[in-house]
Amino acid sequence: MINKTKITYLKNNKVKLEMDMDDYRTLLQGNIDLKSATEMMGECHTIYLEDLGKLDTLEFRMARILGFRRKRSPATGGDGGYYYGNYVLSNHVHAEKESD
């Protein structure tokens, strides 16, 4: 899936994001799902597999829409990213390169 978000790194530690309205609505729905899942966990002291799926989807969508990248893996010659590793900013020196 192609990232339509334009990320501009400005001076003074500022970032400018320009994103498609559909992506913005997707993040809004993700926030609603996150709120719902955390409320259920707090009230019931349990987690439903459906909520776990919502959280997993939110993580993926946020990373894609906001342009976060996986950290490159030295084990693959620096080409692939760590699947279970944390994300880094797209301008980070060890950020996985965007695939075409």
Task: Report pLDDT digits (tens) over 24-73.
Answer: 898 899 888 888 888 888 888 888 888 888 888 888 888 888 888 887 76
Task: Indicate if the alpha-carbon torsion angle 48, 49, 50, 56 is positive or negative.
Answer: positive
The span from the CA of 41 to the CA of 35, in Å, is 10
In a domain, 1, yes or no: no
pTM for the model stands at 0.65
Same domain, 15 and 35: yes
Same domain, 57 and 14: yes
Same domain, 53 and 20: yes
Same domain, 14 and 52: yes
Task: Please give the tally of structural domains in the chain.
Answer: 2
Task: Tell me the residue range of the domain where 73 lies.
Answer: 68-100
Same domain, 49 and 25: yes
